[in-house]
């Protein structure tokens, strides 16, 4: 984002609207590879009616979509643990959010009168993505941050790699993913920490215990459903 635009935004010199307003609750979900983000998002979908969008899953689907101009680029980035250019990922997320909000089948808690609630899993992994998403798409209410040791993450990913078929669930790719995480994603977490938006959950414990803690921390942030 150009500096002049940042200053204008900070001073509220012009009004700028995002694609989604505050009827839509957006929670970013971060944590190292294998911290348990996807597992916990699935449990929160069951309990709190979230729509779960994994940036990695959307990228893998785009990689395999016939006719995609980004297939090769995405494949290389994923294998190397690099971040795909933000324009691609932000657009995929925005489209998926629009589709979920337009989906007539989706109803119930948090999904009436234009309301919606999203867990955006594995995103933003880099500051430029965070800035672009919040400027164009919508504001994040909080960042759910799952933390455990590198040893536990390594063990979980290598176990998952036996059946996942993922090209990056191996020691070589994992080392690169850990590096990218430390160099590019940690600054994102620090940024949101300064804004008081980070909910940190220790994900070293069994799945149900982690879920109980995550659910208790998130529930108060969710708006009442309007009739």
Ligand X SMILES: O=c1ccn([C@@H]2O[C@H](COP(=O)(O)O)[C@@H](O)[C@H]2O)c(=O)[nH]1
**DSSP H stretches of helix in 65-149:** 71-80, 86-102, 127-136
Q: Measured between alpha carbons, how far is 116 from 179 in angstroms, rounded to an integer?
A: 34
- Please, which of residues 174-193 interact with ligand X by CB under 6 A? 177
Q: How far apart are CA 204 and CA 182, in angstroms?
A: 19
Taking the CA atoms of the chain, what radius of gyration do you get in angstroms? 17
Residues 9, 18, 38, 48: which binds ligand ATP (CB under 6 A)? 38
What torsion, rounded to 10 degrees, do the Cα atoms 170, 175, 177, 178 define?
Answer: 130
Annotated binding-site residue? 37: yes
Contact between 31 and ligand ATP by CB under 6 A: the answer reads yes
77 binds, among ligand X, ligand ATP, none (CB under 5 to 8 A by kind): ligand X
Q: If contact means CB under 5 to 8 A according to the sort of partner, which of ligand ATP, ligand X, none does residue 78 touch?
A: ligand X
- Closest approach, Cβ 128 to ligand ATP, in A, equals 20
The one among 123, 145, 178, 192 contacting ligand X by CB under 6 A: 123
Q: Of the ranges 35-43, 110-118, 179-187, 218-226, which one interacts with ligand ATP (CB under 6 A)?
A: 35-43
Edge-first strand order for the sheet with 51-54 is 51-54, 116-121, 24-31, 142-147, 198-202
Q: Is 84 annotated as a binding residue?
A: yes
Q: Which does 156 bind (CB under 5 to 8 A by kind): ligand X, ligand ATP, none?
A: ligand ATP
């Amino acid at each position: 984002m150009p500096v002049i635009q940042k200053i204008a935004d900070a001073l509220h010199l012009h009004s700028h609207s995002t694609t989604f307003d505050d009827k839509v609750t957006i929670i970013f979900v971060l944590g190292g590879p294998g911290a348990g983000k996807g597992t916990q998002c699935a449990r929160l979908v069951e309990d709190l009616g979230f729509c779960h969008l994994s940036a990695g899953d959307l990228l893998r689907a785009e990689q395999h979509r016939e006719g995609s101009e980004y297939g090769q680029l995405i494949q290389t980035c994923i294998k190397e643990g690099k971040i795909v250019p933000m324009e691609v990922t932000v657009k995929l997320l925005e489209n998926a959010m629009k589709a979920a909000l337009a989906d007539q089948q989706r109803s119930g808690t948090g999904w009436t009168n234009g309301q919606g609630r999203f867990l955006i899993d594995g995103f933003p992994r880099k500051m430029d993505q965070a800035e672009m998403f919040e400027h164009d798409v919508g504001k994040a209410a909080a960042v759910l941050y799952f933390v455990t040791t590198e040893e536990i993450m390594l063990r979980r990913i290598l176990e998952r790699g036996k059946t996942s078929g993922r090209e990056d669930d191996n020691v070589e790719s994992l080392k690169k993913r850990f590096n990218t995480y430390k160099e590019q994603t940690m600054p994102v977490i620090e940024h949101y920490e300064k804004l008081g938006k980070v909910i940190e959950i220790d994900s070293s414990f069994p799945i149900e215990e982690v879920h109980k803690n995550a659910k208790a921390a998130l529930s108060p942030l969710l708006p009442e459903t309007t009739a």
